[in-house]
Structure 1
Amino acid sequence: MVIPKQKSGVFTVEMKSTPSLRAGLIKAGKWQQVLANLHTKASGSQPFIDYQDNFYLVNVTTGTPPQQFNIVPDTGSSNYWLIDANKCTNQACQGYPNSGYTKHRFDSTKSTTFKSLGTSFSLQYGSGSCVGTLAFAGLTYGSQTFGLASSIADVFGYQIMDGIMGLGWPALSDNKVVPPMQNLLSTLDKPLFTVWMDRITNPPSQGGNGGLITYGALDTINCDTTFNYVTLSSQTYWQFAVDSFSVGTYNVPKSQQVISDTGTSWLGGPPKLINYIVLATNAKYDALNQAYTVSCTASGLPDIVFIIGGITYNIPSTEYVLDMGLGNGDCVVTIFDMEFTGFGPQWILGDTFIRTYCNVYDIGNGQIGFSKAHHKSV
C-alpha cells in the first residue's frame, strides 16, 4: 500500500478489510444456523439481503475525549450511527462470540461534548437495521449529529463493526441530518473523495488487507492518473447509468441504473441478468450455504463487463471468484440477485467492482469517476 503524503486540505484514511464472516462460520459449522436465524428475523421491507461478508473498515473517533470505533464507510447510506453503551445491551450489541469481536459502544456519560436531541430514528439496510435516538457531539472537524442505536439487527452482531458512517447524499439521510461528508467539505481542497480498496487475499478468511479513502483529492498513486466521469442520475445514492452489461456470450445493450456502494461486498443485480453470469460461468447454486459456486481451479471464466460513459470496465474472475472455505474444491461467485422497483437502481456495484476500479465521489460536480486500481498481486 502506498499512502500519499499528507497536505493541508487533503485527508487520507487507511482502511482494513474484515475477516470473512461466511468463511469463519462455515469452518465452525455454524453458517447454516446463522442463515436460518437471519431469514427468520429479516424485515419484510428489505429489498435484498446482502450479508456484507467481507467489507472494509476505518477507525473513527467521536466525542471528547475521543472514543474510537471501527466503522463501515458506506456510500449506500447517509447517516452516521454508533451503538449506545447505556441502552443497547443485548448480545448483538456486545458482539456474538462466533464473531471473535467485542463491540465498541459509545458511552455518552464519558463525553463532555455530547448532547442528546431526543429524536428517535430507524434505519433499514440491505443487511440489517438499527433504531435509537439522535445525538450531537464534537468531532475533529467540528460537530456531527449521529445516531445512538438502542437496538441493532442480529446480522450486525456477527460482524466486526461498531457502526456505519453514511457517505451518501443529504436526500438519503434520515431526519434530514447533515451527512458527515457535507460537514467536512469546507475543510477540503476539493469537494470529493477517492476510494481505493486493496485486493482481498484468497482465501479471504483472515482479513487485514487495506485500502485508502482520500478526502479532498484524487489518489493518483494507488490508481491510474486518468479518471473517467459520468454524471449522476440521482443525488440520493451514488447512482448513475451504465450503457450495457455483458458476460461471455450474453449481452444486454441497454441503459440500466446502478449505484456504487462501498458498504456492499458483492455484485447485486436483477435475477435474469445474474442468471446470465451463472450460465456463463457454469456456476451451481449451493442451497445449504445460499451462494453460487464454481470450482476453485476453473479456468477461462469470462469477465463481467459494464460499459459506463462509453468506457469498458472488465471485472475479472480473480475479483468475483473467492475461496470461502466451502470445501470440495468449491469457490463462491460473489453475486446475488435482488429486485428494485420504480426508478431505483437495478445493480449494486459493491466491493467486487470497487477493488478493480478506484471510485472518485465528486460531490461538487455531481458526478462519479473511475480509474484502474493498482495492486501488488492478484
Structure 2
Amino acid sequence: MKTTLLAFVAILGMCSATVVQHKLIYRESPKMQMMRRGEWGAYVQHKAALRDANPAVFASAPQNVNDFGDVEYLGNITIGTPPQQFIVVLDTGSANLWVPGSNCDGTCKGKSEFDSSKSTTFKKNGQSWQIQYESGSAKGIMGVDTVAFGGASEQQLLVPSTTFGIASHISSNFKNDAAEGILGLAFTSLAVDGVTPPLINAINKKILDQPLFTVFLEHKGTAKNVGGGVFTYGAVDTTNCGPVIAYQPLSSATYYQFVADGFKLGSYSNNKKSQVISDTGSSLIGGPSAVINGFAQALGAKYHSDDDAYYLPCSTSKGTLDITIGGNVYSIEPVNYILDVGMGDTCVFAAFSFDFGGFGPSWIFGDPFIRQYCNIYDIGQQRIGFAKSLQPSSK
C-alpha cells in the first residue's frame, strides 16, 4: 500500500509539470510604419533631443538594449482571478513584467488596465518602481497575483504569486503602441529592483517540464495582427524547428549573452570574437558601426543619417549573412535581412550601429537571426541552442 501511494505521488508530480505553447501575433513595427510615411527621421531627432535634455536619466537606463519601436511580435497574457487579459511584448532583452493599472493617468487611455479590486488572488506589495528604456519609460507600484502566459481562450502557463508592475504612467512611445505592457524573459539579475521574473518564478516552482523555452518566429509578411510564431515553454519545439545544431554556453546570465566568432557578408568579413545577445525585443540586428558599415558597403546599401537607416534596392542579391558561433556557421538569408517596408523598389537593410562604450554586449541578434534559426533559451544549464527554423513554406 505504501509503495502504491508513493508511486501515485511520483506520477502526480510528473503530471504537474507542463509544456505550454504561447502563440504570437505579428504586426509591423512602428519604426517600419514611420519609415514608410516619411516620419522616422523626425522621430530619430526627437529621441536625440530627449537624450541631450536628460543625459543623467539615459546614462543610468537599466534596459538600454531595448528600443521597443522595433518590436514586431506580441503575445497575450492574463493576470488575476478571474483573468484580465493584456497584449504584451515577449522580450528576452529585459526581465520585468508590467501592465497599465486602473489608477494610470491619461497616458494609458485606450489600453486594457489591471484592476486589482476585481481579482480575488491579488496581494498588495506597494513598492514603487520605474524603468527607463532606450525609447520610453514606465512607472508605478508593484503587486502580486497569478500571471498566465497565453490568452484566456488558449492553453496557459499559470504562475501563481508573481510580482509585477502596475503602471500609473507610461511615456508617449508606449502610449501609441499596440502593446499594452512588457513581459521580460531574461534572468533575475537583470530585473529592476531584483524582482523575480514570471518565467523564472515558474521554473523555481517546478511548473515546467524543463527549465527552458524555444522561440520560433515566422517570416514577416504584409499582413498585420496575424499569427507570427510561437514560444514553447518547458521543451524544445520539434514541430517548428529542426534538430538542434549546437548549444553555446552563456557568457553572462543577465541577458542571453554568448560569444560569436566571426561575421561575413559578400566581400566583407570580420573575425573578431564578440559578445552577443539574443533579443526577441528587436526587429533588427545591431552591431559595431565599423562592421555594420562594412556589411552595408558590401551590399551597396546607402546610409541616410536623417533616418539612421540603410537603404538598398529590394532586388539586391549578395548571398547570405554568415555568423560563426562555436565553430558552426549560421547563414541568414536575404529574405530575413533585407526588409520590404512598402517603399516601392527601395528596401531597408535590417541592421543598425550601436556602441555600448566597452561595457556589455557589442551585438544584438534580433528577429532576422531568430526567424532563420529557432533559439532555445536553456535557463537551467545557462546555454543557448540553435535549430533551423521550419517555415510554413518549407515544412
Q: TM-score, normalised by structure 2?
A: 0.85
Instruction: Check conservation: 2:244, 2:385, Cα contact below 8 A.
Output: no
Which structure has the bigger radius of gyration?
2
SS in 2 for 1:104: coil
Q: Are 2:352 and 1:332 equivalent residues in the alignment?
A: no
Q: Are 2:129 and 1:112 equivalent residues in the alignment?
A: no
Q: Are 2:213 and 1:193 equivalent residues in the alignment?
A: yes
Partner AA of 1:217 in structure 2:
A
SS in 1 for 2:290: helix
User: How far apart are residue 54 of structure 1 and its match?
Assistant: 4.3
Distance of aligned partners of 1:272 and 1:26 in 2 relative to their CA distance in 1, 3 Å threshold? closer
SS in 2 for 1:213: strand
Work out the CA distance in 2 between the residues paired with 1:89 and 1:116: 23
Counterpart selection for 2:390 from 365, 374, 377: 374
Partner AA of 1:74 in structure 2:
D
User: How far apart are residue 214 of structure 1 and its match?
Assistant: 0.7
Aligned to 1:99: none
Superposition pairs of residues 175-194 of structure 1, within 5 angstroms: 175-185=193-203, 186-194=206-214
Aligned to 1:123: 131
Counterpart selection for 1:228 from 239, 246, 252: 246
Instruction: Check conservation: 1:133, 1:149, Cα contact below 8 A.
Output: yes
Q: Are 2:64 and 1:44 equivalent residues in the alignment?
A: no
Partner AA of 2:101 in structure 1:
D
Q: Are 2:360 and 1:344 equivalent residues in the alignment?
A: yes
Counterpart selection for 2:75 from 46, 50, 58: 58
Aligned to 2:274: 256
Partner AA of 1:238 in structure 2:
Y
Work out the CA distance in 2 between the residues paired with 1:342 and 1:53: 24
Instruction: Check conservation: 1:63, 1:111, Cα contact below 8 A.
Output: yes
Measured against aligned partners, the alpha-carbon deviations of 1:145-170 in whole angstroms (never above 9, x if no partner) come to: 00112222222222210111111011
Instruction: Check conservation: 1:20, 1:205, Cα contact below 8 A.
Output: no
Q: Are 2:216 and 1:208 equivalent residues in the alignment?
A: no
Partner AA of 1:279 in structure 2:
Q
Counterpart selection for 2:30 from 21, 26, 47: 21
User: How far apart are residue 292 of structure 1 and its match?
Assistant: 0.8
Work out the CA distance in 2 between the residues paired with 1:307 and 1:368: 14
Work out the CA distance in 2 between the residues paired with 1:264 and 1:33: 20
Counterpart selection for 1:265 from 280, 283, 286: 283
Instruction: Check conservation: 2:285, 2:366, Cα contact below 8 A.
Output: yes
Work out the CA distance in 1 between the residues paired with 2:237 and 2:224: 26
Partner AA of 1:41 in structure 2:
L
Aligned to 1:9: 18
Work out the CA distance in 1 between the residues paired with 2:338 and 2:38: 22
Aligned to 2:262: 244
Work out the CA distance in 1 between the residues paired with 2:300 and 2:281: 28
Instruction: Name stretches of at least 5 consecutive residues in structure 2 with no aligned partner.
Output: 1-14, 52-56, 148-157
Work out the CA distance in 2 between the residues paired with 1:195 and 1:205: 21
Work out the CA distance in 2 between the residues paired with 1:125 and 1:257: 21
Partner AA of 2:31 in structure 1:
R
Aligned to 1:97: none
Which is further off, 21-30 or 80-89? 21-30
Q: Are 2:297 and 1:283 equivalent residues in the alignment?
A: no
When the two chains are superposed, the root-mean-square deviation of aligned CA atoms in Å is: 2.2
Instruction: Check conservation: 1:50, 1:126, Cα contact below 8 A.
Output: yes
User: How far apart are residue 141 of structure 1 and its match?
Assistant: 2.3
Superposition pairs of residues 284-299 of structure 1, within 5 angstroms: 284-298=302-316
Which is further off, 216-225 or 80-89? 80-89
Instruction: Name stretches of at least 5 consecutive residues in structure 1 with no aligned partner.
Output: 1-5, 95-101
Comparing both structures, which one devotes a greater share of its residues to helix?
2
SS in 2 for 1:193: strand
Measured against aligned partners, the alpha-carbon deviations of 1:69-90 in whole angstroms (never above 9, x if no partner) come to: 0011111111111112212322
Aligned to 1:80: 97
Count of paired positions = 360
Work out the CA distance in 2 between the residues paired with 1:250 and 1:34: 31
Aligned to 1:302: 319
Q: Percent identity?
A: 41
SS in 2 for 1:182: helix
Work out the CA distance in 2 between the residues paired with 1:310 and 1:60: 38
Work out the CA distance in 1 between the residues paired with 2:26 and 2:360: 29
Which is further off, 114-123 or 31-40? 31-40
Work out the CA distance in 1 between the residues paired with 2:42 and 2:115: 32
